[in-house]
Every structure is written in C-alpha cells, then in structure tokens.
A and B are shown apart, each in its own frame.
Chain A
C-alpha cells in the first residue's frame, strides 16, 4: 500500500536559518505532491503543489523540491521567522479522489 512518511516529528531552529523538512513516499510514484501548514486548533492550509516533472517550485520564502529517484520531497523555508512555527504536512493523491497525508513535522523557530 502507499505510504508517505515525514522523518522528523519536530524540528527546532534559530530564527533566520533555513528550515528543511523531509517527505518520503513508497510503493507509488505520485504525479503531484502537496504541502500544507497547520496551526494549533486550525485546519491544514494548502501551501504548494509540485509536479513530478518539476524539480523545484518556489513561493516567496518557500521552496519545494521533488526527487523521483530518491522518492523524496524537501520543503525549505528560508530566512525563517517565529511566525513560521507550525506543523507542516506533505500529501499525495492515492487515487483520483483520495489523498494520503504524512503525520507532519512540528517546526519551532526560536528568536
């Protein structure tokens, strides 16, 4: 069955540094990977989608890469700020209508 794993439960970094979060998938090569942000007490919010034929996607301070050989996506936040502290989820569609989410990485940015 398809699995999607986020290696770190939690990541703590200093403000201003680049945060890098990892998402690995197995048993299936998704055409797309999505990244979401979830704040405490709120639902996930969509951030970025990357297609399998895109090596890299950027949006402001966010960058996502997609390596189909390693079956891995990396999510980077450059010049991190305390306001970036949240849980970040990666996700892939397991069929045309169903999506599988990773369990998330809780990112904390300390001033």
Chain B
C-alpha cells in the first residue's frame, strides 16, 4: 500500500498564478486534512473533510479552496498565489474518531515568487 501520496512534490509559481495540489489515500479513511508547515509555526490546519462531498475550514483557510469529490482524493487549490503562501503543504488522513492517528504524505514544497 502506498498510504498517502501527494503530487507534485515541488512547485514554483509566480504571484497571481493558480494551482491544485492533489492528495490520494488508499486506506479507505473517512477523514482527510490539509496542513501547511512553516518554520517555528508548526503544522497549521487549512481545511479538512470528514467524508466524501464534505469540507470544513481549519485555522488558516483564506486563499485556499478544497474539494473531496471522491473518498480517496482531497484537492487543495490556490486561487491566486501570494508569496505568503510559500510553505510546505502536508496532506493527512485518518479513520473516524478522536483517538485515531493521522497518516501523512511527504509534502509538497511550494515557492511563490
């Protein structure tokens, strides 16, 4: 099993461009998450989903949109990229329940020039 796969692994964008980050999991998990990780800030939740067709805002949702059309996929979109969105983006998935461990992908390193 691949677990959680993120594509692309690296990307450089110009300010104002848009792009979509893809997350796929093969563990049949209900919950999926998008985080960003910045130096000294830890992991911050952008958006999450508790099931196919549902999404919700996390701690830092502005400038991002998400969709979960299929249970195994969770897409993160940047509508108009800004330098402040330069970060490492992690996707995670978990089973339903408040004691479940999260399974992470290896991240997408995004630079906005």
- Chain A residues with a Cβ under 8 A of chain B: 9, 31-32, 34, 41-46, 49, 51, 89, 91, 93, 95-99, 101-104
Contacts and interface: CB of A to CB of B under 8 A. Distances in A.
A93 B104 contact: no
B42 A96 contact: no
Contact of A43 (B40, B58, B105): B105
Which of B41, B99, B101, B105 gathers the greatest number of chain A CB atoms within 10 Å? B101
Number of chain B interface residues as a range: 20 to 34
B4 A43 contact: yes
Interface of B: 4, 31, 33, 35, 40-43, 45, 48, 50, 58, 90, 92, 96-99, 101-107
B43 A89 contact: yes
B77 to A, nearest CB: 20
A99 B102 contact: yes
A44 B31 contact: no
23 contacts: A31-B98, A32-B98, A42-B107, A43-B106, A44-B43, A44-B90, A44-B102, A46-B101, A46-B103, A49-B99, A49-B101, A89-B42, A91-B102, A95-B98, A97-B31, A98-B45, A98-B58, A99-B33, A101-B35, A101-B43, A102-B42, A103-B42, A104-B42
A102 B41 CA distance: 9
